[in-house]
Amino acid sequence: MTTNAKTAALEALIDAHAIELKLPTVRRRFRALAAEATREQQTPVAYLGALLEAEINERTERRERRRLNDARFPQIKRLDDFRFQDNPNVPQATIAALAEGSWIDDRESVILIGDSGTGKTHLATALAVCACQAGRRVRFTTLAGLANELQEAEGRRELARVVARYARSELVVLDELGYLALPDGAAELVFQVLSERHERGSLIVTTNLPFGEWTKVFADPRLAKAVVDRLTHRAHIIDTGSESWRFHHGLTQTKRRRGQPA
């Protein structure tokens, strides 16, 4: 058998073993990395190490992509893209500490409270993305979306299953509390999820309403008080202020287009 034939047979064997062992990156890259190792005169151990590292790195990336998809973010936003200079109300050191995720281990929560355009959803999403990158199960939803999902589940007699699914997530992001009042019956269903997660799992909540005005969302004052009590217990409360950086950014862009000083 010629050298080329032996090489082809060995490559076919490696290919088959990689399929059997479920090593797709090894299967796809072993030839290219072998050629690179030959050019750089690497040892067999160095080549094997590079090949296995490539497999591990791609598995990590695939798991992260899967967690990000499972979280159902409307958009991926990261802390690196948040312009802290546009909103000095946001404590950068506090956000950086929260990004490390120990508060999730402690089953604490984060409440971002402030007017529209102050970066609440960006920060909530970015912290949740950090959690995904750390290997945590995350779920993102708006309050209205959660209410609709729970009501539909109740209609299908699947409410317990949906509530349990939210309970299993290590972190749930509840966005836009305060923009819409909950429809009849939905407030109690949302309260079930919040009660199930209380001291068992972490939440990030964004709201444009002071706590004293949550009766605009949860019409029953006693229920509103119970929700506030549960959410604020063991919570990091961050006030993002009232100055909309989106408004200022849009105004600056308009001035630039008109040739006016920003």
Task: Give the integer Cα–Cα distance in Å for 220 and 141.
Answer: 23
- For the residues 65-76, what does the mean pLDDT come to? 96
Task: Give the integer Cα–Cα distance in Å for 60 and 259.
Answer: 47
Q: Which of 71, 62, 59, 134 is nearest to 98 (CA)?
A: 134
Q: Residue 82, Cβ neighbours under 10 Å: how many? A: 19
**Length in residues, the chain:** 262
What dihedral angle (degrees, nearest 10) is formed by the CA atoms of 163, 165, 166, 168? 120
Q: Which of 201, 238, 209 is nearest to 106 (CA)?
A: 201
Categorize the per-residue pLDDT at 251 as very low, low, confident or very high, splitting at 50, 70 and 90: very low
Lowest-confidence range among 97-106, 176-185, 227-236?
176-185
Query: For residue 140, is pLDDT > 60?
Result: yes
**Residue 1 pLDDT:** 61
DSSP calls for 128-175 = HHHHHHTT--EEEEEHHHHHHHHHHHHHTT-HHHHHHHHHH-SEEEEE
Q: In the Cβ-directed half-sphere of 211, how many Cα atoms lie within 13 Å?
A: 16
Lowest-confidence range among 20-29, 49-58, 106-115, 246-255?
246-255
- For the residues 144-153, what does the mean pLDDT come to? 97
Question: Which domains, ranges and CATH numbers included, belong to the chain?
Answer: 3-71 (no CATH), 85-248 (3.40.50.300)
Distances, alpha carbon 175 to alpha carbons 48, 51, 141, 170, 235, in Å: 46, 42, 6, 16, 16
Tens of pLDDT, residue by residue over 183-231, are: 889 999 999 999 999 989 999 999 999 999 999 999 999 999 999 999 9
Query: What residues pair up with 109 in beta bridges, in sequence order?
Result: 235
